[in-house]
């Protein structure tokens, strides 16, 4: 599980960026109820699969969801997504510590 004390500045930025979109927040909310495959999730969210895939990839890149490919009984490949274990505590101190680890730019924070 990603814990508040081991989050780099880049990881924190990726997570906050991913969560800054209302559609991605809804994806997190739906997946909090359990893992789902893409088509099922798209229907539940009333969203096209291609658009949902864009949002899922952003969440996966930020380490907030995990995707896995599985075969159904009839041999069809199905992509399932579930929440990754994560917790972020945002305090001025944790943000300051994360900022010290940002890649690129000025680190004198």
pLDDT tops 70 at residue 3: no
Domains of the chain by residue range? 4-99
pLDDT score for 109: 45
Work out the angle at residue 92's Cα, subtended by the Cα atoms of residues 88 and 95, and round it to the nearest 5 degrees: 55
Cα separation, 18 vs 25, whole angstroms: 8
Average pLDDT over residues 55-79: 94
- pLDDT, mean over the chain: 90
CATH number of 4-99, picked from 1.10.10.10, 3.30.1050.10, 3.10.20.520, 3.40.630.30: 1.10.10.10
- Read off the pLDDT band of 7 (50, 70, 90): confident
């Amino acid at each position: 599980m990603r814990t508040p004390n081991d989050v780099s500045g880049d990881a924190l930025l990726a997570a906050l960026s991913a969560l800054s979109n209302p559609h991605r927040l809804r994806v997190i909310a739906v997946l909090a109820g359990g893992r789902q495959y893409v088509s099922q999730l798209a229907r539940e969210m009333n969203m096209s699969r291609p658009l949902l895939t864009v949002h899922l990839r952003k969440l996966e890149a930020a380490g907030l969801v995990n995707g896995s490919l599985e075969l159904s009984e009839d041999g069809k490949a199905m992509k399932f997504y579930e929440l990754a274990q994560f917790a972020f505590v945002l305090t001025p101190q944790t943000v300051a510590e994360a900022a010290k680890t940002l890649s690129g730019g000025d680190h004198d924070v």
